[in-house]
Each structure stands twice: as structure tokens, then as C-alpha cells.
Amino acid sequence: MRNRLIVLPGWGLGTAALEPLAASLRAQDSTLHVELMALPNLAEGDAEAWLDYLDRRVPTDCWLGGWSLGGMLAAQLAARRGDHCCGLITLGSNVSFVERADWPHGMAKDTFQAFMDGCRSHPQVTLKRFKSLCSQGAQESRSLIRQLDVGIPVIDPVYLAKGLEVLGQLDTRAALQAFDCPQLHLFAGNDALVPAEAASALSELLPDVEVGLVEDAAHAFVLEYPQELAATIKNFLHESGND
């Protein structure tokens, strides 16, 4: 269904953070059916297991989108489905969240390992730190943190840790290069978790797809600029033949 968009959230925060964006999309395009779908709660930290889970539950022949980890999973799922996915939209999603020898635009490995260790030993403290990083760089960071606090689901710490394991595994470059349908990738200029340089690096990797950078925005720009992001997504969908 070219008028159906499934959006996956980021790590640890549930779908509530995406509600303003979904509401803005519905308001700006009454023909678009936007559905938010939670990430898996699995006691497995294997990315393929997570993708298998999503593949069984996410409808086919629609648009796939996601924020941060959700966007990375959506990218892998889109590549799996090929022509049975209308297109892909990612928001604040690095191709590799953790730096690699051939991708220096990610979080330092030791920093990420410390984050994982903290999640296992003090999950709520780690989640609080994560919310702070999501809002860092925003015009009104304190207000954004309060917004992120609304509707956060109670997630078993085991599932939180497994989600980070998946995040550390994913490298979506091959999937994005293989997926031959419309793609839109939006990044935040002041993102404390995904370097802005990742946007230009992705443009070099995929010169034929749309990559945008929202200046003066934090990682949680889905909450910071929902109307503006919705307008960009709506225009992209219409230009891609979703009328």
C-alpha cells in the first residue's frame, strides 16, 4: 500500500516519542495511513532474530521508516523485502552506530562498550543518560527531556541490553546499496549520538538518494521539529509517486 507508512522507534523510548510526528503527518496528508510499531522485546541480542521477528509482524508492500535504531532495522528489512517495500525513510539513523575501520562516523567503541556495561549494571541510570544525550544540542534541551519522559514503556533490563547488542552489530551500508526503491535519510546537525558528518558520508555512499541535514537540531528532532519533518516526508512521498 503506497499510502501506508510503518515507523519503528529508537532504543529504549518506545513509540510515544514518535506520536507528534505521526500526528503531524496525518494532519498534513489525510490519505496517509501512519502506524507506529514497537521494537521487539527479545532475550536475544542477534540482529537477524530481531529482523525475523519484525518481518513476521510488519505488513508488506508499504513504506518503512524509523528513528535511530528503528531506522537501521527498517533499512535491513527494506533490503530483505526488495520490491515488496515501497521505500525507506530514516531519521537520525547512522549506517553504523559504532565506529568501524571503514566508517569513522560513529560512536567510539570504548564509549559504546561503557554504555553497554552501564545498561547491564544500572539500566535506569543509563536510560536517563541516553535521554540527556538525545536532547543535547536542542534549542530547549530541558523541555525536550521532559517530552522524552512521557510515555516511556517499562522494559525489562535484559531486553534493553539486548537492544544495545543489536545496535552495535548493525551496519546497513550493504542493505542501503542493495535497496533499489526511494530512500530519504534525515540527520540532525547538533546530534550528540550520530555525528553530522555521517550525513555527508552517506551522500557519498549513495549519491542517488535523498539525504538531508536539519541544522540546530538534536538527536530527538522527531520531537523537536515534528511538523517540519512531516512536511519533508510528505513532499518526499508525493515526489516518489505516493499520490
Active site residues: 68, 191, 219
Q: Is 186 helix (H, G, I), strand (E, B) or coil?
A: strand
Q: What is the spatial distance between Cα 63 and Cα 85, in angstroms, rounded to a whole number?
A: 6
Contact 201, 208 (CB under 8 A): no
Strands 85-91 and 183-188: parallel
Q: Which long-range contacts (CB under 8 A, 24 or more apart) does 200-203 make?
A: 201/103, 201/105, 202/95, 202/176
Amino acid identity at 136: Q
**Among 64, 111, 98, CA closest to 83:** 64
CB environment 16-40: b (16+ within 10 A), e (fewer): bbbbbbbebbeeebeebebebbebb
For residue 70, which of 26, 22, 33 has the smallest C-alpha distance? 22
